[in-house]
Amino acid sequence: MIDNLKLRNVFSSLAYKIFFSKRKRLGNNIVALDYHYFTNKPIIYPKLGLEVSYSALNNQLKIFSEFFEPLETDFALKTFIKRKSNNSKPGILISIDDADKSITNALKYFVKYQIPITLFIPLGLCIDKDEEDGRRSRILCRYRELFPSSQKLTLNEKSKFFDRIINSSFQQLYEYELKLGSPKKGNNITASRELLSLKEIEEISKNPLVTIASHSMSHNSLADLPDNWLNWEIKKSNEYIKDLKGKYDLFAYPFGHNQSYNLKVKKILHEEGIKYAFTTSSKIIEKNSDLLALGRAPMLNFDNKDYICGSAYGAFHYWDKILQR
């Protein structure tokens, strides 16, 4: 997998050198780029490529500010097709998923280069675990650990389990937590990270460069959930976003791959007033893009200019096409 990450670096770098370096714009198309975690330590999860060092982040943002036009997500999506910018630079959107505590230190780099960002928040995992929704969400995030690994749960079984958790007393929820024990990094990265609290999110969102939006409550693959659980994930998380004065017409699917959402999920998003939902497919955002399945390319821990520019020009849109993803 490490070789795969290096291959992505090579692919993006070559795509920029050969194809993109002579281009000035992407027309009215936009490339969305996504981060997860930041660190000043040796990279903890090289297999997943989700951590970016602060030094690499600084260099990436410096290049974005010089050669691209970073846009505020909600405004850009509403206006980019009709946009008549005097700026000859290609437009990009930048988001950060999962509300990891490392955002606090990373924010100064976005401020330094005046780059707007959208934080997609798994709301339930940021609520204090001494509150019922916080404790419920932590249990639901790790629900698979409460069942034998060989047991494949039906939707009906998941529905009954969800009802039990929702209707459990605070003491009963505490007993579930005792059964689960401390989260193991290998099992569930989001559950094992230290996330921002709602109070910290509220404070960060006061920065005019920061937009906050929902990433569900418990960070589960939404396509795998029964109706009662799915509705709770979307509607309850948006209630919190509205209370925090965030953008409740934006959403990012947990995991974001093609199997993590479906037509039923998109229908509920639409009914809830969500107009734009992001995946983790690396598709360029075009005039005819499905607004409830917008692409984002992951930014990896590389700081060479060719990789950074290739990524921001949409190299991984073509990477996914070649791999038929």
Instruction: Give the tens place of pLDDT for each residue, 9-49.
Output: 999 999 899 988 876 666 678 999 999 999 987 665 455 57
* In a domain? residue 219: yes
pLDDT digits (tens, 9 = 90+) for 80-125: 655 555 567 899 999 999 999 999 999 999 999 999 999 999 999 9
CATH number of the CATH domain containing 92: 3.20.20.370
Residues 298/5, Cβ–Cβ less than 8 Å:
no
Sign of torsion over alpha carbons 278, 280, 285, 290:
negative
* In a domain? residue 267: yes
* In a domain? residue 170: no
* In a domain? residue 171: no
* In a domain? residue 290: yes
What is the number of domains present in the chain? 1
Nearest to 72 by CA among 220, 185, 213, 240: 213
b/e map 203-227, b = 16+ CB within 10 Å: ebbeeeebbbbbbbbbbbbbbebbe
pLDDT digits (tens, 9 = 90+) for 48-66: 578 999 999 999 999 999 9
- pTM to 2 decimal places: 0.93
Q: Hey, is 130 helix, strand or coil? A: coil
Domain span at residue 24?
2-129+195-322
* In a domain? residue 156: no
Interior angle at CA 99, CA 246 and CA 280, nearest 5: 90
* In a domain? residue 135: no
First-to-last alpha carbon distance for the chain, in angstroms, is 17
The β-bridge partners of 70 are 92
* In a domain? residue 144: no
